[in-house]
Amino acid sequence: MWGLLRRRSPSGFSPSSTAEEVTAGIDGSGLVALITGASSGIGAETCRVLVMRGVHVVMGVRNLSAGACVRDEILKQVPSAKIDILNLDLSSMSSVRRFAENFKALNLPLNILINNAGVCFVPFKLSEDGIELHFATNHVGHFLLTDLLIEKMKVTAIESGKEGRVVTVASIKDEKTDLYKDMTFNYIFLFSLARFLAYGQSKLANILHSNLLSSHLKEQDAKVIVNSLHPGAVATNILHHWCPLYGAIRAIGKYFVKGVEQGAATVCYVALHPQVAGVTGKYFSDCNITELKSHALDRDLAKRLWDFSLSLIR
């Protein structure tokens, strides 16, 4: 199927391109990347490919055993790989703070931050901090993690002379859900929304955060770019809460959606490819810049979301 979707594009890549293909010939030696949700799916494939290109990868994982299995498989392919594993539960602000401290204790630079982890279509549940789980995990956890590590990235960029990159996986390509004008009201109202809308809003929040962070860093003349992306439709275990369809999707998915090799392509492209140098505040799909709809470009909405998110993490 994917052979039919190869087409010319500004980047030269297509929906059928794999993460290995889009990073072919790129030397990532000397770079350090932190990847959340690196123990399965797109995150695991991103970890594998970046390691192949010489990047030192730090895996942020909720399940240390699963993370160790991924690391061991990668080491079989790349015996010289540099991989560290740290525990991270993005739904818990205390866990995010511990993770950031543990990362800093490694005394490593930080060139690339890939906000990849997420939950999808989970039944209604509150996090330990009292926040709806999609919003807590997909947005607030990554918002806090980025806030805790962005200074490290800015310093690394200055000391290394290499541009830093923040990459956020925001899976909704054409997000039409709305965030209500009163952010406090929206936060309460999220509790009663269907899981689909809750997921969509959390991903819209990812894009809004990415865009405004990009603007802030440009104003500071920081040598760190920030972009978000849609990996495409990929049948991974993130859909396991969507029963009873999950089994069927996994069984026939390979005929209709991307495998993780293609799903990780845009992540790796935005994180590593020279074509992205200096490009910031953009949204990518199939390794090309994609135009966003009005909600995702609403700067006032982004500012209110930013202030609301700060009130949650302070």
Residue 34 CA, chain-centre distance (Å), reads: 10
| H helices, E strands: number in the chain | 13, 8
For residues 142 and 148, what is the distance between their CA atoms, to the nearest angstrom?
Answer: 10
Q: Is 118 exposed, middle or buried (0-12, 13-18, 19+ CB in 10 A)?
A: buried
Residues near 101 by Cβ (< 8 Å), separated by ≥ 6?
none
DSSP string, 120-142: -SPPS-B-TTS-BHHIIIIIIHH
Report yes or no: 144 and 92 within 8 Å, Cβ to Cβ.
Answer: no
* Type of residue at 28: G
The tokens describing 25, both together, are 């010939």
**CA–CA distance, 132 with 120 (Å, rounded to integer):** 12
Measured distance CA(10)–CA(300) in Å, rounded: 31
Judge whether 199 counts as a catalytic residue: yes
Query: Strand 224-230 vs strand 283-285: parallel, antiparallel, or unpaired?
Result: parallel
Q: Are strands 283-285 and 288-289 parallel, antiparallel or unpaired?
A: antiparallel
Task: Please state, in angstroms and rounded to a whole number, the distance separating the CA atoms of residues 224 and 244.
Answer: 42
Q: Which of 187, 199, 246, 283 is catalytic?
A: 199
| Eight-state DSSP code of residue 256 | T
Contact between 33 and 50 under an 8 Å Cβ cutoff? The reply is yes
Q: Is 265 within 8 Å of 19 (Cβ atoms)?
A: yes
Torsions phi, psi for 304 (to 5 deg): -70, -35
Active site residues: 199
